[in-house]
Amino acid sequence: MEISRVVYEALTPFEKSAVNAALFTQGVDACVELQAFLDACSDADEADLNMLYEAYTADNISISEDYH
């Protein structure tokens, strides 16, 4: 989610807090997902690593398509 600076500055303090909380939550979720992926990679054999890599790239492709 990207909010333009002009729109953000027009928000009330309560609305800015809500936006900041949502952005913080998205950041935490991304960190948790990345840590889970790294943990899975550290215990994976070659076949599992290939599968994890394919799942990771497919997920990133679908995410980028959602935002463009």
Average of per-residue pLDDT across 17-25:
94
How distant is the alpha carbon of residue 20 from its chain centre? 15
* Residue boundaries of the structural domains of the chain: 5-67
Q: pTM higher than 0.85, yes or no?
A: no
pLDDT digits (tens, 9 = 90+) for 28-47: 998 998 898 889 888 889 98
Of 30, 49, 50, 33, which is closest to residue 41 (Cα–Cα)?
49
User: pLDDT of 53-64, one tens digit each?
Assistant: 888 888 765 554
Specify the DSSP element, H or E, that contains 26: helix 13-42
Residue 39 and residue 57: Cα distance in Å, rounded?
17
CA distance 26 to 3: 14
